[in-house]
Chains A and B, each alone.
Chain A
Amino acid sequence: MKKLIAPLLALPLLAAPALAEPLLWGFQAEQFEYRERDGEDGFAWDFDLFVGRDEGKFVWRSEGEMGLSSGDYEGLDNQLLYQFPISPFFDGVAGVHASTPNGEPDRYNAVLGARGLAPQWFEIDAGLYLSDHPYMQVEVEYEGLLTNRLILVPSLEVTMPLKDDAARNQGAGGATVEVGARLSYDLIDRAVAPYVGFSYEKSFGDTGDMLRAAGEETDEFSLVFGTRLMF
């Protein structure tokens, strides 16, 4: 990766030194973790890879979870987004989203959203996913500094279907809520920060009913072991 990017960075520098701004890129994984639970253990990730400038950047965002014995993707969401500032602390995002897990019909959405830093240091990521099966999702995180390196990150994610999607057991208005907390230690700068924690997910309302009717669990508790990554 670095080898590929380096010449890219060098070009604008040579062309008009001192006046050009180089392209920036980065990789940030909030989750990169083993999930241990009653059922099949899984491996989950949630990362952003971006390239761009202050004025706007392209982001590949990937979230997913793979069953470790079956190799099936229980969740697989990829987004290609354009992210741009809309206020001092918030960015707008617009792009496309593909949800292509195993065993469920694929879904494709247009995404509109906002992400940024709310007062009191809450990190917010909110999106509206638009298609025949629209839903919205809001994620809130907080970095609690126990020390300058030992960091507790509680998180809350709410997914709210706006229309029924029977094939995916999603009922309009029936939210799925995921709460988690991860205790990490900045091992190498902020590049590698291993953590332990938990994640608990529960579905409510029609979504819960549909899951029950299909014989599936409406909630799930996992212990998680993983690392945050940033480079």
Chain B
Amino acid sequence: MISISRFKPALLAAALTLSGSLGALAGTYDITVDKIRINTGEFTKTGVGYNKSQTPTILRFKEGETVTLRVKNNLRESTSIHWHGLILPFRQDGVPGISFNGIKPGETFTYRFPIVQSGTYWFHSHTGFQEPDGAFGAIVIEPKGGEPIKSQRDYVVQLTDTHPHNGNRIFRNLKMSADYYNRSQRTFQDLVRDSRANGLKSTLQERGMWGRMRMMPTDIEDVQGFVPLINGQSTRQNWSGLFKPGEKVRLRIINSSAMSYFDFRIPGLKMLVVQADGNPVKPVAVDELRVAVAETYDVIVQPRGNKPYSIVAESMGRTALVRGTLTPKLGLAGPVPRLRRKPLLTMADMGGMMGGMHGDMDMSGMGHVSSQGTMDHSQHQMPMDEEMDHSQHQMAAEPAEPAAPAMDHSKMDHSKMDHSKMTETAPAAKEMDHSKMGHGTMQKDTKSAGTMDHAAMGHGTKAKGTMDHAAMGHGTKAKGTMDHGNMNMAGMDHSKMDMGGMGHMMQPAEPGEFYAPGSGLKPVAYNGGKFLSYKDLRASRPLYRDRAPTRTIELRLTGNMERYIWSINDKKLKDSEPIRLKLGERVRFKFVNETMMSHPMHLHGMWTILDTGKGKWDPIKHTVSIAPGTTVYTETEVDAAGQWAFHCHLSYHAEAGMFRKVIVQ
């Protein structure tokens, strides 16, 4: 087996040299895989690294080059390297059990393949938990003819979530107790605080609702307690990149975390996003962007001040951040911002769960709910202060007088929900449309709520400026300002709702929505500015002509959080059949996230075209994050024969079974 896999690339390389003898580049690179000490400044641990260093190795290739990579395994266990995002023959893809047999201790394995693309990628071990333990590096491929967008500085910014525990231990702990690392759970203190704010009854009802489902709204980061690093350096160690004021600086952001999404910003600078997952996109200026695990984004910034700028990567669950610095001279450090308020999941994020819950709760009637997540009960929660009384909610079809002109609720689409079955719903209710609905039931519960707090709804603390209640007729008492800083779902009285009848009334979310409406995860930029969305990504160099897919394959992302089992279509890898694709077809994948966690799905060997409704201009990626309660479509031109891995890139989800083998025939 090994001899064959070595022989083939040799042949291939020979063929390439023969055919492309007009000066084909050929570089040889040596990589050692070593047991290393990792020092985060907060703790030290034993991990795995490349070339004996905790600073990630950067491989710099040129498009068109044929690379030879000699990987020497100095570990006492088997290893492997997967070239994340690279298009290559499958025997070179580096997944043990799928593309080859792995690299045994002491062995030097030689990868050889042509570089047929350009951009920012990365590489990592695909064996056990070596990647969470530190085995990753960066790949930068210079396009033929040079970078089309010039910059004077070019830095890799490789993020990771280094944890004091090694991967095996983390996985075992999660299996024993899925909330082992969740130190953001709601406590008695939160109960007291929420009771004061929203009233005891509604707070208990809200707790009861989550408790009935045995789900936690704090379940955003499975593994907390990590120290995030930029290029192997923690906040204290302060990775720094030099610039001269006015220079253009290209940052190649790579999220190599085991489990953590990072929200990335450079306070004071607009970032021009020019590349996503290695492929150029129409430049879009943003203030902040979310980098899902395994994604890469290239941004260009132009710091003009003669002062240090903080590079900040804050985890999606707001449990940790790392600060690096862009600086005009070494030795300076940008300020370290405080962690922002922790988000809470909402019922919108639970939308998909309900389909998967079996009779264990009184919502069983919802089995057929599409996981579009449009069941967003949080949306019922009209923000109000104590003087606002829902009884005055006209909810008339015609817009009432703008009570709070600065707010925009337009994104909250009540029309998707059928309230007709809600018992005790006051008058209106025959039409489903919220705009015509009396808030009878809700009002009863929410009235007591002094101030409601919107943070959990993803409106973030800055929501004030961006919400528009105008069309909702909040009655006359609404004040010009509302504190949305801290909304939670207290006050939703589910016990009075007959959910059985609701499911099939729901409509799918509009295409291009990548968070469930009302999701607690929808990010808001630190300065209230522009936060990158998948919708903003537009391929500037499509790789394929747009054509109709030959078929659609539905992949429901499923799991059982309590048991820490993660699966696709309710089957773990070991119980599953491979996904079989035909060479030359264009397949459409329908991802339906029925869990309450985000999953960065990564298909090896072939591009993933993310359907954002732009046809041939849809962005081309290798990893696509599927938020809870959402359905996302991607398309893949099946142009690479062989066996490939297809999995959630959260290390412990992949290991727990959210993984498929793909066979292209």
The answer on a CB contact under 8 Å between B95 and A18 is yes
Contacts of A14 in B (CB 8 A): 78
Nearest CB of chain A from residue B221's CB, rounded to whole Å: 13
Residue in A9, A120, A149 whose CB lies within 8 Å of B183: A149
**Total chain A interface residues with beta-carbon distance under 8 A:** 32
Residue in A18, A85, A89, A117 whose CB lies within 8 Å of B97: A18
> A18's closest neighbor in chain B, by CB?
B97
Asked if B127 CB lies within 8 Å of chain A CBs, one says yes
Residue in A18, A54, A120 whose CB lies within 8 Å of B563: A54
Per-position binary interface string of chain A over residues 90-134, scored 1 when its CB falls under 8 Å from any chain B CB and 0 otherwise: 000000000000000000000000000101110000000000000
The answer on a CB contact under 8 Å between A145 and B208 is no
**Could you say which of A14, A18, A121, A190 has the most chain B C-beta atoms within 10 Å of its C-beta?**
A18
Contacts of B51 in A (CB 8 A): none
The answer on a CB contact under 8 Å between B360 and A89 is yes
Residue in B98, B214, B562, B565 whose CB lies within 8 Å of A119: B214
Nearest CB of chain B from residue A39's CB, rounded to whole Å: 35
The answer on a CB contact under 8 Å between B78 and A117 is no
The 5 closest A-B pairs by CB, nearest first: A18-B97, A17-B96, A120-B211, A145-B187, A17-B97
Asked if A38 CB lies within 8 Å of chain B CBs, one says no
> A190's closest neighbor in chain B, by CB?
B180
**Total chain B interface residues with beta-carbon distance under 8 A:** 47
Which of B39-47, B154-162, B169-177 makes up part of the contact surface?
Answer: B169-177
Contacts of B212 in A (CB 8 A): 119-120
Also in contact, A89 and B127, with CB within 8 A (given A145-B188, A147-B187) = no
A54 to B567, CA, bound (A): 12
> A150's closest neighbor in chain B, by CB?
B187
The answer on a CB contact under 8 Å between A119 and B176 is no
For window 176-229 of B, CB contacts with A under 8 Å fall at: 176-177, 180, 183-189, 208, 211-214
> B126's closest neighbor in chain A, by CB?
A18
Contacts of A25 in B (CB 8 A): 172
The answer on a CB contact under 8 Å between A24 and B562 is no
Residue in A10, A19, A117 whose CB lies within 8 Å of B214: A117
Q: Which residues of A contact B (CB under 8 A)?
A: 9-10, 13-14, 16-21, 24-26, 28, 54, 85, 87-89, 117, 119-121, 144-149, 189-190, 230
Residue in A21, A117, A146 whose CB lies within 8 Å of B187: A146
> A24's closest neighbor in chain B, by CB?
B175
> B360's closest neighbor in chain A, by CB?
A88
Asked if B574 CB lies within 8 Å of chain A CBs, one says yes
A220 to B573, CA, bound (A): 52
Q: What number of A-B contacts does a CB cutoff of 8 Å give? A: 90
Asked if B358 CB lies within 8 Å of chain A CBs, one says yes
Also in contact, A26 and B172, with CB within 8 A (given A18-B97, A85-B563) = yes
The secondary-structure label for the interface of chain B is loop
Asked if B357 CB lies within 8 Å of chain A CBs, one says yes
> A121's closest neighbor in chain B, by CB?
B211
Nearest CB of chain A from residue B203's CB, rounded to whole Å: 14
> B169's closest neighbor in chain A, by CB?
A231
Asked if B68 CB lies within 8 Å of chain A CBs, one says no
Could you write out 10 A-B pairs with CB less than 8 Å apart? A19-B661, A20-B574, A24-B172, A26-B172, A87-B358, A88-B357, A119-B211, A119-B360, A145-B187, A148-B185
**Could you say which of A25, A28, A119 has the most chain B C-beta atoms within 10 Å of its C-beta?**
A119
Asked if B128 CB lies within 8 Å of chain A CBs, one says yes
Contacts of A230 in B (CB 8 A): 173, 176-177
The answer on a CB contact under 8 Å between B97 and A19 is yes
> B224's closest neighbor in chain A, by CB?
A148
The answer on a CB contact under 8 Å between B360 and A87 is yes
The answer on a CB contact under 8 Å between A89 and B189 is no
The answer on a CB contact under 8 Å between B185 and A120 is no
Residue in A85, A121, A146 whose CB lies within 8 Å of B189: A146
For window 621-665 of B, CB contacts with A under 8 Å fall at: 645, 657, 659, 661
The answer on a CB contact under 8 Å between A119 and B358 is no
Also in contact, A18 and B361, with CB within 8 A (given A26-B172, A145-B186, A190-B180) = no
For window 529-588 of B, CB contacts with A under 8 Å fall at: 560, 562-563, 565, 572-574
A121 to B211, CA, bound (A): 6
The answer on a CB contact under 8 Å between A89 and B562 is yes
Given contacts A17-B78, A121-B211, list 8 more A-B pairs with CB under 8 A: A13-B78, A16-B97, A17-B101, A19-B661, A88-B357, A89-B360, A119-B212, A146-B189
Nearest CB of chain A from residue B183's CB, rounded to whole Å: 5
> B77's closest neighbor in chain A, by CB?
A10
Contacts of A148 in B (CB 8 A): 183-185, 187
Residue in B189, B208, B573, B661 whose CB lies within 8 Å of A147: B189
Nearest CB of chain B from residue A56's CB, rounded to whole Å: 12
The answer on a CB contact under 8 Å between A190 and B563 is no
The answer on a CB contact under 8 Å between B565 and A54 is yes
Nearest CB of chain B from residue A140's CB, rounded to whole Å: 15
A144 to B211, CA, bound (A): 13
Nearest CB of chain A from residue B211's CB, rounded to whole Å: 4
The answer on a CB contact under 8 Å between B361 and A119 is yes
The answer on a CB contact under 8 Å between B573 and A19 is yes
Residue in A9, A28, A54 whose CB lies within 8 Å of B176: A28
A144 to B189, CA, bound (A): 11
Nearest CB of chain A from residue B4's CB, rounded to whole Å: 18
> A21's closest neighbor in chain B, by CB?
B574
Nearest CB of chain A from residue B643's CB, rounded to whole Å: 11
Also in contact, A26 and B574, with CB within 8 A (given A88-B357, A145-B188, A190-B180) = no
A121 to B560, CA, bound (A): 15
